[in-house]
Amino acid sequence: VAQFSDKTVDVGKTVSLTSASLAGSAASNYTLSLSNSPVATADITPRSLNVTISASHKTYDGTASASVSYSDNRVAGDQLTITGSPSFDNKNVGSGKTVTASSISLSGADAGNYTQNATAITTANITMRSLAVTVAASSKVYDGTTSASVVYSDNRITGDVFTASGTATFPTKTVASSKTVTVSGISLSGTDAGNYSPNTTTTATANITARTLVITANAVDKTYDRTTGATVSISDDRISGNLLTITYSSSTFDTRSAGIGKAVLVSGISVTGLDAINYTYATSTTTTATIHPRTLNVTVTPTNKLYDGTNIASVTYTDNRISGDALTVSGDATFDSKTAVNGKTVTSSNLLISGPDSSNYVLPSLSTSAVTTANISPRPLTITGTFSVAHRPYDATTDATTQVTPPASPGLSDVQLSDDVTLSGTPVFTFAQATVGTNIGITTSGYSLTGADSSNYTLSLPSFSANITQRPLTIGGSLITPSSRVYDQTTAAEITTPSALTLLNVPTGDANDATKISLSAPVAAFGDENVASDKTVSLISAGLSGSRLSNYTLSLTGAPTTTANITTKPLTVTITASNKTYDANDSATVIYIDNRITGDVLTVSGTATFSNKNVGTTKAVTASTITLTGTDANNYTPNTTATTTANITTKPLTVTIAASNKTYDANDSATVTYTDDRIAGDIFTISSDAHFDDMELGRNKPVTAMNITLSGIDANNYTPNSTAVSSGDITVREITAQIPTAVDNRPLSNATPTVLLGDLVSAIDTTVTFTRAGYASVICSVIPQNATETCTSPTLADGTWKYRARQLIAALMVAASEEYTIVIDTTAPASTRPLMFTPDSDTGVSATDGITRDNTPTVFVTEASPTDRVVVTATSINQSVQCSFTATATEQTCTLPVLSDGNWDIAAVITDLADNTSTLTPNFVGTIDTIAPATSVAPFNAQDNGAATSLDATPRISVSGIASGEIATVNGTNSRAEKATCSFIAANTLNYCEMSTMTSGTWSFTATISDVAGNVAAESPPTQIIISAGIAPATVATSAVAPKTTTNKRENVVAVKFGTSAALAGVESVSFIVFDSSGKVIRRSTIKVNPQDTGARLVIPASVKGAKVRVVTSNQCGVSQGAPRSFNVRRGKTVVSLDNRTNIPTLAGQLVLPDIQFGPSDITLDAGDKAQLDKAFKEMKGKCGTLLVSGFARHNNTDTKKYLQNLADFRAQAVADYLSRKGLTMWIDYQGFVIKPKKGDDNTHRRVVIHWTPS
């Protein structure tokens, strides 16, 4: 057998014999050696390897990358690794899509023995990616609909192009905060839409805020009624169809007085109804109305009068005024003559109204007079002069002549004017009765009236009154009584001889006649009832008797008196003592008994005591030092001591207890605290035997103290209750349960931790229970013999567990620990994602490509969780460095030491708090590049094909000679130190960028190149470009045209000089406006100039005589100062788009002024509009660009389309012309729109809106 020296492919390989044998009958007689056997050479050629692939399906990920498995027909046992670049035909979703693995290559020990196909093809599917579509809803003001506006967002792959749409609605139209907005029918459209499967519905929240409801009131005129009340009707601008009820608490005029156009206030406005919640509103509003004066109907009532010598009448005016009004009705009233007659005619004329409320009334026409009747009665006259009247005692006659004294010269009172009336006659005066009385009438007679006018009078005779008084009598004679008597509580004194008393001052005729008048029933008395010697005795009463009794009075004044004695009464005092309960003193309570006279006021007192303070029966009680006090005490003489007996009994002692709570200890003993109601200072001690009802757990368990006894000095003076009850708790015993290996709350990598238990009750079943949401409880048990014990848990799954120890008796928990938490973590940290440089370290074009100029890059470990310990290792050819850190919520990075330029393999190992260690993270290749690119050539004016000038304020600048992917930055500066810039990333096509906005003048441009890693090249050589954009056009002045003679014709020439180039003067066009002698414009010529031009000229025909020319320059910023009015105003386009249905435009430019409002058919500006436009003028003055003025009119079925279009145009033009006349020099374009707004949208169709677009 021959063999190659090895199996590998090669040319001219040695082939040697490796074994041979002998055959034949004599073979056994020989041995065979292979030494020096012949050799040969031969080739081993590579084997053709047929590589096939099978591709994995994938979910759309925005790339064409594919994952494949390689298979081949290698010789069994050969070691090969196949690699390639697999990809789908494109990135899009599809079934049976072609997957091609290209650049197939081999590696491994046997790779050199094969040749393989370079590509392989198979198929696989790309399935749609689930798209999570979310929305952000916009709040809106209530509009009566449920429509909602939302902005869509999703988790699409960056760069994919499609649009999400759907139908967004609120659940109801009503106002509320945080209302759910539901978007349904979500669908996708656009280039990449087919690669996604979106959710068809989603929700968000937004607010519907209340709409302002404008409430107006119309008031009804009324006739004055003395109130401010007003009748009004209410209207509002609610959204059509909304259900609202508007009420108000009051509607009042400003005052109650009559008046025209008076203010009416409607207040307390309230809006209710189904849609009320959707509106806000003012609670009051105002209007005007008239209060008309009230017609005053006046009635005249004359008053009868006494004759007064005149025909003047007094009348009373009544009317229908409103109660409480202050006004006066006046007029002139007269009788037909002055004489006293009944039923005389009275006439009232010249009626007038006056007073505070008179302006609220009017008299009916022709009602200023009235006629009625009344009486003039005779006038009573009295006699003048002084009459004097005197009283007199009773004398049995009615004559009063001596009691009334008439005047010496009596006259008549109240005679009117010069009437002829005289008093005559002699007076006579008479009492109405002869007996005693008061105010007895006295009449007059004997007077009369005479004279020509006496018939108009009556005489009133005077009357008087006076008293006939009783005659006073007194007592004379002697008062005779006994000399003394014993105190008996009265003042009575005995008269022994009444006949010794007599009456004095009895008049003649009644004297000594007992049948007419006599003394009766005299009574005498001491001055008081009290004991004393030589006390005065006086008459205290006496009476009269007889037929003339009523004509007299009796006075005791001056009656006779005498003296006598009152002596003291003996008083016998005894006592009765009350038994008492022991009170720690010997005082006794007694009742004093005596033989005083009933009704006398005196108090018996003394000092009553027991023999000592202690308990005993029939104890002696003595009252000593007995004394009397009180009003009547001096009228008695008492004994000074008295004795009796009584008992002192034991005091009941109420003993209460308060039991102390305890934790379970397997017995029923209780600890109590005693309280009692002993007398302060007494000394004794309380004891008892106290127990819970049992030893079991419980709240408010009964505790009884039995055999309560007392001991001590004062114990015998009390009788305590023998038992007392209270309550207390026997609560669960608190034990401890700790896992000693759980240090500083770190997770445990041990899934069977041991728990150390403490403060246990021995011999009771003890368990430790581990719980976790979603998991079955895990339990370990032990029966402790001591106060401490250990318990080892069965295996716990990774996660956070709560554990608690309990001691149980017949399933009843008698002891427990608090609940503890332990985290079990036996899982190593994840390490599936490669590392990356932080954005700050990943310099250059991309912050995620791993290419950087930072040679001490910071690495971001995305899978490092807070508290994880991370070690990062970077390796390159013969090099290896590390950095490490402990991750926090904000720190997942570490910075590597200095790395040399080139590729580095970077990976990390993560160790968590439980000391679980991850595998190495997938390899991340970082590239360090610290070499800057070459300097570029000078920038190029791509905007104007390399020209040295540009009219564009943002010219396009290109930079050539840079590599694809490098970044070019163009910087511009001018002599004013202003700066402009732009940048771009180089591609294979033309490379350029547009500069930021620049002012006019000469600018120097340079370019700087930076590579993918962010290394920056030196600055390029500069390029000079003149920028003329943004320059306000130069203002030029011209005089009247002067004729000029030339060789071939006569003509007028107007020439303008810019003073520099047109580009630097900011001139793009020159307009020549020619006026004739009357000021009429006869010609307008506009010339567009070149940037390098320094002037312009206009030739005017010789036929034009006396012409004047105005020159206006212009550019994209506008026109020069002094241009004719509205020269810069143009009818142009101001919109981006128009709504096909409503014609409402989407307006172009930046908003300057949102709302110049006009009347329904108005096209003129009022003072308020001009004030707003003046502010806009100040804001826009000096800016470069075009002002866009948009005017609106509302479509209707009455006015013609042309009329409405003119209305919209004229409104816009009015605003544009005003701003031009103010001196605004920028271009002003205006446009009018006839729109069809939504119902209720009244704010869009009578206004002008101003926007601006910069040049």
CB burial class (10 A; 0-12, 13-18, 19+) of residue 1114?
A: buried
**CATH number for the domain formed by residue range(s) 836-928:** 2.60.40.10
DSSP assignments along 1039-1087, one per residue: ----EEE-SS-EEEEEEEE-SS-HHHHT-SEEEEEEE-TTS-EEEEEEE
Please count the other Cβ atoms lying within 10 Å of the Cβ belonging to residue 26: 8
Q: Pairing mode, if any, of strands 924-928 and 851-852?
A: parallel
One-letter amino acid of 666: A
**Nearby residues of 1066 by Cβ (< 8 Å), 6 or more positions away:** 1000, 1028, 1030, 1031, 1032, 1033, 1034, 1113, 1115, 1117
Q: At residue 803, what are phi and psi to the nearest 5 degrees?
A: -135, 150
Residue 1028 and residue 1064 in contact, taking contact as beta carbons nearer than 8 Å: yes
Residue type, 1139: D
733-824 architecture in CATH? Sandwich (2.60)
Q: How many CB atoms lie within 10 A of CB 1113?
A: 25
Look up residue 737 and give its amino acid.
Answer: A
| pLDDT given for residue 1031 in this prediction | 54
Amino acid identity for residue 1230 in this structure = Y
DSSP state for residue 76 in the 8-state scheme:
T
What are the structural domain ranges in the chain? 2-44, 47-127, 130-209, 212-292, 295-377, 379-469, 471-528+537-557, 570-649, 668-731, 733-824, 836-928, 940-1022, 1030-1124, 1125-1255
What is the residue whose two structure tokens read 């979106």? 198
Report d(CA 697, CA 387) in Å as an integer.
114
The whole-angstrom separation of Cα 922 and Cα 920 is 7
Distances (CA, A) of 757 to 736, 738, 814, 821: 5, 7, 15, 15
What is each CA distance from 486 to 494, 539, 563, 566, 939, in whole angstroms?
A: 13, 21, 15, 5, 153
**Torsion-angle region of residue 695: left (phi > 0), alpha (psi -120 to 50) or beta?**
alpha
Kindly give the pairing relationship between strand 328-335 and strand 344-354: antiparallel
Cα–Cα dist 613/624, whole Å: 18
Which of helix, strand or coil describes residue 79? Answer: coil
What's the first-to-final CA gap in the chain, in angstroms?
95
Q: How far apart are CA 1180 and CA 1225, in angstroms?
A: 10
- Fold classification of 940-1022 is Immunoglobulin-like (2.60.40)
Q: What is the pLDDT of residue 1203?
A: 85
What is the pTM (predicted TM-score) of this model? Answer: 0.32
Task: Take residue 1067 and report the two structure tokens written for it.
Answer: 């001139």
CA-closest candidate to residue 160, choices 92, 95, 96, 98: 92
What is the pairing mode between strands 1185-1194 and 1227-1235? parallel
**Among 1218, 1217, 1216, CA closest to 1250:** 1216
Burial letters for 617-635: b for 16+ Cβ neighbours within 10 Å, e otherwise? eebebbbeebebeeebbeb
Q: Which amino acid is at 542?
A: A
Task: Give the span between the Cα atoms of 336 and 1251, in whole angstroms.
Answer: 92
Cβ(688)–Cβ(591) below 8 Å: no
- Within its chain, how far is the Cα of 78 from the centroid? 81
Number of residues that this document lists for the chain: 1255
Name residues whose C-beta falls within 8 Å of residue 1205's C-beta, 6 or more positions apart in sequence: 1193, 1232, 1234
User: How distant, in Å, are the alpha carbons of 955, 957, 1027 from that of 942?
Assistant: 8, 5, 14
Which residues share a beta bridge with 397?
Answer: none
Which residues of the chain have a pLDDT value below 70? 365-369, 396, 943-944, 951, 988-990, 1028-1052, 1102-1106, 1238-1244
Same fold, 836-928 and 1125-1255: no
Q: What is the CATH number of domain 1030-1124?
A: 2.60.40.10
Angle at 949 between CA 947 and CA 951, to 5 degrees: 120
Q: Which helix (H) or strand (E) holds 1201?
A: helix 1201-1222
pLDDT, residue 1047, reads 30
Fold topology of 1125-1255: 60s Ribosomal Protein L30; Chain: A; (3.30.1330)
Q: Give, in degrees to the nearest 5, the angle at Cα 1007 between 1003 and 1009.
A: 165
The answer to whether the beta carbons of residues 547 and 571 sit under 8 Å apart is no
Structure token pair of residue 595: 């033989």
Q: What is the pLDDT of residue 72?
A: 94
According to the model, what pLDDT value does residue 1113 have?
87
> What pLDDT was estimated at residue 401?
87
Predicted pLDDT of residue 1041: 37
